[in-house]
Structure 1
């Protein structure tokens, strides 16, 4: 009896111990080597702790763009960690080398709901791989030179498209960017945080071919909703064989990269609440009366259309 009582006591103690154990968060690591975060783009599930380790002789920081976390200086072989509970896109960088390096250190952690992490090669049909990243495919397409320039200027978006995935990119063609005007584009290129926010609105997580989009839309009554890396939603509509993304139409579909797929669209998408900087227009009163008609006509084409500014 004493032996049985001892065994029962041990079982009870073990059970209590197991119940008392905390639920452990998933963990993953980012190395800081050669003035870069490796990997620069990281997709994790919620409740994941990310640990950064600095292997460089010089100090670095891990500083959130949105102020969520800031490691302060991390010396060689020191670490910093942060647990990501909420889904979203969290860009970060090093504040110590921003003025000394031509390209500042940048990284991003993309947090998705638990159980939704997808293998990098999901939905890529064998034989269709391009051996190119999304960033490289965009840079090499002659119809996307303006979009490629914007991606390069933004920096963070380029890091995401080069190192993360799989993603589906709705890339505006050159004509779509021409509508914005040179001065608007110049202002955006000088404001990389705003430009990144605009470009991330054109990227969704996962591989969606045109056929996938049409199927998703038809299942839900000709329309479906995708969540962008900017955290906003995109409405996708299938009507009479045409696919529209918000107010843009897909003109070229299914350009496949190693880490996703690109669809070329005919309009730059503008997130809700996002106001593009307007073109500078010469006031009518500053010109002679004889030229007023010409100036007014030019001003009409220079100012962004109202539907492109979403309050």
Structure 2
């Protein structure tokens, strides 16, 4: 009898060992020049598959160079497994010449076992409410314009809510007021451009002012990489800490998933064309059309 029981136990053990491990998967559709969903939160070690349903080619290219699909043709797919937790903004490089910013998406990989269920409760034990970076920004009276922009953008709000840790260099209200009305209106009406602008103010990791001062003093200047992949130069001038052409006016506002420093200038990425330049070019074209006649109209894009 004992030998029979032992035999059955051995069979069960072998059967359990032989069972395949079910890997976590998630899908993103590429339709109409958009990633659907544009924001995706997954647990670590999840394989995400992008499927292109458009007739034109697209790419899935991460801002930090972590992954790059190359051209994906219609009905083709691209897979990537997110082994490490973190936030991975990505976009399509093929339509960058026809749009002011490429298609944008973001994958946020959280530790395994921490995904939120549909009822809003975490799969483990309940934890006290968290003060996220998005919450902190929304509650600061000096950041109302930045908070409004985060709310309108979508991806940036998801990043500040679920990702991290991050250091956010948030422009104050006066910095947004310094932008001309046409520029500000256009930004608020273009969520892709707005997301690019906002994520240019966010870097991975927790950097207090003391950390930044120490690094800048040792090397004269330290370089941080924003979530857009662009570089932000941090230096010390006359005892003040500057980020690009902005000065930090309030510092070390702490949230559960990062730190906020308030700055006095909006940091515009180098590849995001200033709207006033676009307006000036358009006005020049109109003048040429008036002066040269109908023939000039044929060269207007």
- TM-score normalised according to structure 1 size: 0.55
What is the 5 A alignment of 1:289-300? none
In structure 2, how many angstroms separate the alpha carbons of the residues matched to 1:43 and 1:216? 33
Alignment equivalent of 1:82, drawn from 68, 80, 83: 80
2:275 alignment partner, SS class: coil
2:231 paired residue number: 233
1:219 CA displacement: 1.7
Contact 2:236 2:242 in 1 (8 A): yes
1:51 paired residue number: 48
In structure 1, how many angstroms separate the alpha carbons of the residues matched to 2:73 and 2:203? 29
User: Quick one: structure 1 residues 255 and 41, their matched pair in 2 at CA, closer, same or farther if it must change by over 3 Å?
Assistant: farther
In structure 1, how many angstroms separate the alpha carbons of the residues matched to 2:152 and 2:200? 16
In structure 1, runs of 5+ residues without a counterpart are: 1-26, 53-59, 74-78, 93-105, 112-116, 118-128, 284-311
2:184 alignment partner, SS class: helix
1:275 CA displacement: 1.7
1:142 alignment partner, SS class: coil
- Count the aligned residue pairs: 208
2:251 alignment partner, SS class: strand
1:89 alignment partner, SS class: strand
- TM-score normalised according to structure 2 size: 0.57
User: Quick one: structure 1 residues 228 and 274, their matched pair in 2 at CA, closer, same or farther if it must change by over 3 Å?
Assistant: same
Contact 2:197 2:268 in 1 (8 A): yes
1:143 alignment partner, SS class: coil
Contact 2:133 2:255 in 1 (8 A): yes
1:123 paired residue number: none
Deviation string for 1:29-64 (max 9, x for gaps)?
Answer: 5599xxx97x845697xxx76236xxxxxxx97999
2:101 paired residue number: none
RMSD: 4.2
Deviation string for 1:203-238 (max 9, x for gaps)?
Answer: 000000000000111121x21000010001000001
